[in-house]
């Protein structure tokens, strides 16, 4: 049975580095004990943080632990420089294992980025120019195009396209009109009665 982190190449590589650090720790005594203890803690932090981070389900948590492991790898490289300066570690041997640390750091950077950017990136929409950009398209819809009679083959200029919408009002009767031609004296009505043979008698 193997756990998830045990399948990671970076985890197995970090264990190999820790084994080398333990071998070197046996030769570090006296004034180098402080650097030795710090080196042991930093080297152990690499595989421990990888295992804990791989067990996290949230992308942000995975990234944080992988970054901790990467920082521990960089700390180990600095401790090696200190031991080289203190004549406690061979410089050529230190350079070989610093290449391992650089590889570990690169693998952890890829793991951290992959775990943190698992979601879909939002699409970015661009417009051709400033005049083409409408920051609030729902608030100012495009106006309806003007009616062009030349584009409508069925259009008849003599017909009213909307007869029910604007009917012409009936003319109002002219109360002052002298419709009988008698100046308003009522003689016209009497002439009509005489013509009918009633003698103009209204009773």
**What is the DSSP code string of 24-76?**
HHTT--GGGHHHHHHHHHHHHHHHHHHHHHHT--SHHHHHHHHHHHHHHHHHH
Residue 14: give the domain boundaries.
Answer: 4-116
List the chain pLDDT tens, one digit each, 203 residues.
577 788 889 999 999 999 999 999 999 999 999 999 999 999 999 999 999 988 888 888 888 999 999 999 999 999 999 999 999 999 999 999 999 999 999 999 888 875 433 233 444 444 445 455 554 545 555 555 555 555 555 655 565 555 555 556 555 555 555 555 555 555 454 455 544 555 545 44
Per the domain annotation, does 194 fall within a domain? Answer: no
> Sign of the C-alpha dihedral, residues 199, 201, 202, 203?
negative
In a domain, 172, yes or no: no
Residue 74: the pLDDT is 96
pTM value?
0.55
Q: Does residue 177 lie in a domain region? A: no
Looking at the domain assignment, is residue 183 inside a domain? Answer: no
Could you please report the per-residue DSSP string of 108-126?
HHHHHHHHHT-SPPPP---
Which residues does 113 contact at the CB level (< 8 Å), separation at least 6?
Answer: 63
Asked if residue 14 is part of any domain, the answer here is: yes
How many domains does the chain contain in total?
1
In CATH, what number is assigned to the domain containing residue 27?
1.20.1440.60
Phi, psi of 61, rounded to the nearest 5 degrees: -65, -40
Using an 8 Å Cβ cutoff, are 121 and 76 in contact? no
> Taking Cα atoms as reference points, which of 66, 5, 91, 78 lies closest to residue 42?
78
Q: Which residues contact 21 (CB under 8 A, 6 or more apart)?
A: 39, 40, 43, 76
Q: Which of 41, 40, 44 is nearest to 24 (CA)?
A: 40
Cβ–Cβ under 8 Å, residues 86 and 32: yes
Is 55 inside a domain boundary? yes
Q: Is residue 17 part of a domain?
A: yes
Give the separation between CA 43 and CA 68, rounded to whole angstroms.
12
Question: Is residue 72 domain-resident?
Answer: yes
Cβ within 8 Å of residue 13, ≥6 positions away? 100, 103, 104, 107
């Amino acid at each position: 049975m193997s756990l998830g982190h045990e399948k990671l190449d970076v985890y197995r590589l970090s264990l190999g580095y820790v084994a080398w650090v333990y071998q070197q720790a046996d030769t570090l005594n006296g004034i180098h004990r402080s650097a030795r203890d710090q080196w042991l803690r930093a080297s152990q932090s690499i595989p421990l943080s990888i295992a804990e981070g791989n067990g996290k389900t949230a992308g942000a948590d995975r990234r944080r632990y992988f970054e901790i492991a990467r920082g521990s790898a960089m700390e180990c490289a600095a401790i090696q420089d200190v031991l080289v300066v203190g004549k406690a570690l061979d410089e050529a041997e230190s350079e070989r294992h610093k290449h391992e640390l650089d590889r570990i750091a690169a693998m952890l950077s890829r793991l951290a980025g992959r775990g943190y950017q698992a979601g879909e990136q939002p699409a970015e929409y661009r417009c051709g120019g400033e005049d083409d950009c409408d920051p609030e398209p729902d608030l100012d819809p495009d106006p309806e195009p003007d009616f062009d009679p030349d584009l409508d083959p069925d259009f008849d200029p003599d017909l009213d396209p909307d007869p029910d919408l604007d009917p012409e009002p009936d003319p109002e009767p002219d109360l002052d009109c002298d419709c009988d031609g008698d100046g308003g004296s009522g003689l016209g009505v009497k002439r009509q009665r005489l013509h009918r043979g009633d003698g103009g008698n209204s009773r």
